[in-house]
Structure 1
Amino acid sequence: MEEPTTPTPSQRPKVLLVDDEESILNSLRRLLRGQPYDVLLATSGAQALDLLAQQPVDLVMSDARMPGMDGATLLAQVRERHPGALRIMLTGYADPSAIIKAINDGQIHRYISKPWNDEELLLILRQALEHQHSERERQRLERLARAQNAQLKQLNTSLEKHVAARTAELQQTADMLDLAYEELKRSYVTGTEVFSLLANLRLPPAKQTNRQIIELMRGYSKVHGLDEASSRDLTMAAALYNIGKLSWPDSMMVTPSDLLHSAERERYRGYPKQSESLLMTLDPMKDAARLILHHQEHWDGSGFPDRLKGEAIPFGSRLLKLAVDFVELQRGLILERQMNNDEALLYLRQYSGRLYDPELVEAFIEVCMTLLNDVALIDPQVKVLNTRELAAGMILARNLNADNGMLLLNTGKVLSGPLIEKLIAFEAMEGGKYRVFVKEPEEPEAALEAQG
């Protein structure tokens, strides 16, 4: 039998209570009256399975001892037929074998002893359903990300067909994009940047932040000689720090945080935890996820989610907080008034020792000033050239993005003659002018190989 559709987040959770004693069912129903749940009742295991076959149910709480089909057997059947439903056993007697059976066969979430404590039972139900909702939301966002990626692949395929039907020059452009896409698959860090571009589709260009924050993290890492692992974690954290906001409505996404009303503000305070929860399942993202979790903590302990204070806040989180606020202040995502660069830097210095690590503020501002004046000053070997000044063998020192935000080439790519020609063709098609950050090859042989 086909399982009923999983409830959508907008529906009230459905709780199925199973007990052969109607007086127990009535007591439970009175207890749950006024709670934000739809309550279903069944006096036997068979009746409970019939109800589950007819409609989706979020949680099943069954008595352990019932005639015909006991609670452990019922919950094992529920797990097999409707694995998405949480399972709780209510037992009024000490029977370790029944509890063990329920745990092993039914994989129950909890068991509760009779007589129960009303407040404790309500708390268990609420926590179980909140956990279930959070897990479903995580799965929904993962499905959304996969769907968006599939759409991107379809767009690439469509673009390739369109280019092939037009001119050989545009076909070269498609080949270059294919090459860039293949390189993205080899780099986990680059993959997070691509995902952040997809997430930014929820925002108008003037409100997008991730790309600038990524560049700030890379600039700081370069100037201060951070090790590769720390730089990688900071880059991934910058790319995905706001992934927890994807479930927000569009209006909330573009509203300055200082103007959110109380309910929205509470949801806003939960986004670092939501972002961390979504990423913790990916092992290479665990350290970056921890930085994201604490990037809204304040130096004086007034931040969230854990009110950490001072150096108890991870260094990377303190640095990410500075970069996020510096960019979001200029995007109008914190205050109603959008600041310019100088005003945003002044704001950081003004709140040094309250919101920000006072020593880190000055180091960060120094990096920002360097970046704003001339990014190439970070590394004297870096040159800023236009596409027609490029030469085979040069190494890309910074990600190259199209004007629409699409990642064309990633850092470390060795330029070849054909690749430069494709880049010039794509630039002409877009009608833009690219500033390309490059280094000369360390070995002369590299230029010869690129030309070949």
Structure 2
Amino acid sequence: MEEQLPTPLTYKPTVLLVDDEESILNSLRRLLRGQPYNVLLATSGAQALEILAQQPIDLVMSDARMPNMDGATLLAYVHLHYPHTTRIMLTGYADPSAIIKAINEGQIHRYISKPWHDEELLLTLRQSLAYQHSERERVRLVQETRDQNEQLKQLNATLEKHVASRTAELQQTADMLDLAYEELKHSYVTGTEVFSLLANLRLPPAKQTNRQIIELVRVYCKRHGLDEGSSRDLTMAAALYNIGKLSWTDSMMTAPADLLHHNDRERYRGYPKQSESLLMTLDPMKDAARLILHHQERWDGNGFPDRLKGEAIPFGSRLLKLAVDFIELQRGLILERQMNSDEALVYIRSYAGRLYDPEMVEDFIQVCAAYLSDVSLADPLVKVLTTREVAAGMILARNLNADNGMLLLNAGKVLNGALVEKLIAFEAMEGAKYSIFVKEPEALSDAILEAGEVSR
């Protein structure tokens, strides 16, 4: 007979008491009188099995020593055929073999010695049934989530072709959500990351930031050996730092912060506080929420919302600002022009001591170089020059693009006087200001010679 689980609606748990001594059963029944349970009695293992076959039982508490069928055998049968029924052994004898059998074969939840203490027994029942109820609720929520995900997949299949790429992203997120519930059902870290991916679907792929910020923060935490709690809070903060922006219009969400008009700029300055307010009701998120609240503070005290200055800004908030600005500069969410990774780091370095903790900036650049293959700024042989500082013979360390994204020169190009003059003229014509990443020939030759000496 297939076991039937109770519905999650409010109900009185059913407790089955099994003992061959009626006086014991009567004592237990009197003890449980007034408790919110349906109490059933059985004087033998066989009678208990008949009751179990007739109706759902939430908890079985059986005496260890009974004729014909002892308690361990009964509870082992219950475990095999009614695994969701909680099992407790009641024993008045120091019988290790019976207890071992009950634990190994019946996988009992607890065992209680006779004579029992009334309050201890009542507490054990309450705790056992409370745990059982929470486990059933967890299973129900997991199934409900799977059902909702399945409905979401079906809805995705009906979308128009022009949103097919967005549908694929949402399907991937739904699959990630299934895996997250299977592996870490109660993990706030996993939950916040999944939610951040869902929230990111309001943005076009080229403007999405959270995944890159999460990974960058993780690399920093691992490189610096931050403790598990700090790493967890920073990861959750990175995942949900912009949750307060979800009420914005689509145009405001994708606009560079530097170009926002007065009213929108005030709303922009309020998003860290809005993000913190949304998360503060969740106790495990309180520390992460505080990091989010202060991640737009500035080292010189001119940030928001509280104009904190220097080391009064939490360390995690200072790190989060570095990571957020590094990624958002590349997405065009701070300035109108989208920067490459090296340009973003040059910008950050130029504002060390004003926007950013000066002692963290160079270290952050090294972390970015370890995380991203396209960062050349951490190379001591690479220099960042203006067009008027560049000299003939220098070698481009990375591609040079115009502000509109057009490729001007490829990495590895050896500059000559004519090219330098053309760059200066083009820069003046465009009203731009280029950062040129170069290696000098002598430095490059020295590096090659040093590498050769090491190999020998």
Normalising by the residue count of structure 2, what TM-score does the alignment of the two structures yield?
A: 0.48
Q: Radius of gyration: which is bigger?
A: 2
Normalising by the residue count of structure 1, what TM-score does the alignment of the two structures yield?
A: 0.49
